[in-house]
Amino acid sequence: MSKKMDGLLKSIEPKLRIYRRDFHRHAEPGWGEYRTASIVARRLTELGYTVKLGREVIDEKSRMALPSEETMEQQYSRALSEGAVIEYAEKMRGGFTGVVGEIANGDGPVIGFRFDLDAVEMEEKGDEEHVPYREGFFSIHREAMHSCGHDGHASIGLGVAEVLSALRAELRGTIRLIFQPAEEGVRGARAMVEAGVVDDVDYMFGMHIGARARSTGEFFCGTGGFLATSKFDAFFYGFPTHAGFDPQEGKNALLSAATAVINLHAIPRHGGGGTRINVGKMSAGTGRNVIPAEAHLVIETRGADSELNSYMKKYAEKIIKSAAEMHGNTYSIIQMGEAESADSDDELMAKVYTIAGAHSIFPKLRKEKADLGGSEDFTHMMKRVKEKGGKAAYLMLGSELKGNHHTARFDFDESILISGVKILSLIALELS
């Protein structure tokens, strides 16, 4: 590593904490990251990147599980009041909160890095043991909290942007930094993929803080075990009547929903690999003496690969249809999110392992793949890059955690942010 890069890293490290704490304090949920994304876009522009954003990098028809127009307008207005950069934010209005920054230096590979922006839709809880609470960067938005580390991911992305901008003369080819909205619920990546942002990428990287790497100084050079998943909502529509006077005239949507729940969890598992289903929420009815006219189920399926997940989803759709018909109701199914199965490329993992080892960045460098055992919509990018002849890997940056992911007291070790910047910058420099 050059003295110039070493000096850059030392100067950048304090900024990473500032970025992270600012993003954490102003946590924004998926498709509403106007403040976060506009700050990212401004910084990339300042660093000399060619910046595309909004509809340029988001395919409108491929977005899933959007908030209502009213909610998005409220989020937009709030972001402006809290320091969003209007010249960028206005181009994202209506839920187009993606940003892509690119620098190029002659012929060479296209190297892509994905950083997610969104917070989890939950309320942060705190006391003096919770660092964000104690040190004053606790989320000011009750409905959103960075309880999965995306505030750290976005901060690492800005750090990488600064390093590579300063070392641009040492690069060959193109660096593309992709700041993605709505990873939570696996909703956002497909819309960026369908907009073409990774179609020409030769090497594609995603990275997550923590996950299966729960020790500071630990680093996995690749990840497998991505479960394909489908997130969808089922709605049943019946007809209300008085439960005492003329119940026979009603069409009970709740009965259809209840029938569906029991049978969804009874779907036979598949001998080809792991399959899962969960009904996470059921709501129906308006009162004790009214036949319920509407019911709503929140459902997800998963499979060890995309084919197995498809088996679960198709079976679930059949059950929902039959449950509606059984009680004389109609129904609809709305897709809310999805991710593919995927695997990190072995050859690319080996290159990352060599780079990390040569620079002695991580005392606990792992050559084996981490087993995610969950879902991530970065798999859409991995799949498209592979289809186009490129390679992709998903890295894991270890950190001691306070609270598990997606819990109200989640926090990570901020000292690892600079290690994330260092490894990704070195990967860019040595693969270009």
pLDDT at 220 exceeding the cut of 70: yes
230 vs 239: CA distance, rounded Å: 29
- Mean pLDDT over the full length of the chain: 97
pLDDT tens readout for residues 154-205: 999 999 999 999 999 999 999 999 999 999 999 999 999 999 999 999 999 9
Predicted local distance difference test score (pLDDT) of residue 24: 98
Predicted local distance difference test score (pLDDT) of residue 1: 67
Please, are residues 377 and 196 in contact by the beta-carbon 8 Å criterion? no
Predicted local distance difference test score (pLDDT) of residue 354: 97
Q: Which fold has domain 228-339?
A: Alpha-Beta Plaits (3.30.70)
241 vs 249: CA distance, rounded Å: 7
- In CATH terms, 3-226+341-431 corresponds, of 3.40.50.1100, 3.30.70.1450, 2.60.40.790, 3.40.630.10, to 3.40.630.10
pLDDT at 279 exceeding the cut of 70: yes
* % of the chain exceeding 70 in pLDDT: 100
Please, are residues 85 and 38 in contact by the beta-carbon 8 Å criterion? yes
pLDDT tens readout for residues 136-148: 999 999 999 999 9
Q: Which residues contact 370 (CB under 8 A, 6 or more apart)?
A: 211, 212, 213, 220, 222, 223, 224, 225, 396
Please, are residues 335 and 230 in contact by the beta-carbon 8 Å criterion? yes
161 vs 394: CA distance, rounded Å: 19
Please, are residues 327 and 252 in contact by the beta-carbon 8 Å criterion? yes
| Cross-strand bridge partners of residue 115 | 179
Predicted local distance difference test score (pLDDT) of residue 55: 98
403 vs 386: CA distance, rounded Å: 35
Residues 368-392 have a mean pLDDT of: 96
Alpha helices in 93-176 (DSSP H): 131-134, 150-166
Please, are residues 177 and 44 in contact by the beta-carbon 8 Å criterion? yes
Please, are residues 411 and 139 in contact by the beta-carbon 8 Å criterion? no
Per DSSP bridges, beta strands 391-397 and 218-220 are antiparallel
pLDDT tens readout for residues 98-115: 999 999 999 999 999 999
337 vs 30: CA distance, rounded Å: 12
Structure tokens at 265: 């969890």
Phi, psi dihedrals of residue 331, rounded to the nearest 5°: -155, 165
Please, are residues 75 and 38 in contact by the beta-carbon 8 Å criterion? no
- CA 129 to the chain's CA centroid: 27
Structure tokens at 264: 């969804």
pLDDT at 428 exceeding the cut of 80: yes
Helix/strand/coil percent split, the chain, to 5: 40, 25, 35
pTM, two decimal places = 0.95
Helix (H), strand (E) counts: the chain = 12, 16
Residues 380-385 have a mean pLDDT of: 98
Predicted local distance difference test score (pLDDT) of residue 389: 97
H/E segment holding residue 5: helix 3-25
CA nearest to 24, candidates 183, 126, 154, 156: 154
Predicted local distance difference test score (pLDDT) of residue 127: 86
Per DSSP bridges, beta strands 99-105 and 330-339 are unpaired
pLDDT tens readout for residues 231-263: 999 999 999 999 999 999 999 999 999 999 999
H/E segment holding residue 224: strand 223-226
Per DSSP bridges, beta strands 401-402 and 411-412 are antiparallel
CA nearest to 208, candidates 361, 342, 377: 377
Residues 391-401 have a mean pLDDT of: 98
CA nearest to 157, candidates 237, 98, 110: 98
Please, are residues 213 and 397 in contact by the beta-carbon 8 Å criterion? yes
For the chain, the residue count is: 432
pLDDT at 25 exceeding the cut of 80: yes
Residues 309-328 have a mean pLDDT of: 98
116 vs 13: CA distance, rounded Å: 20
Parse the chain into domains and list their residue ranges.
3-226+341-431, 228-339
272 vs 303: CA distance, rounded Å: 10
Predicted local distance difference test score (pLDDT) of residue 126: 83
pLDDT tens readout for residues 35-80: 999 999 999 999 999 999 999 999 999 999 999 999 999 999 999 9
Q: Strand runs (DSSP E) across 32-98, as ranges?
A: 50-53
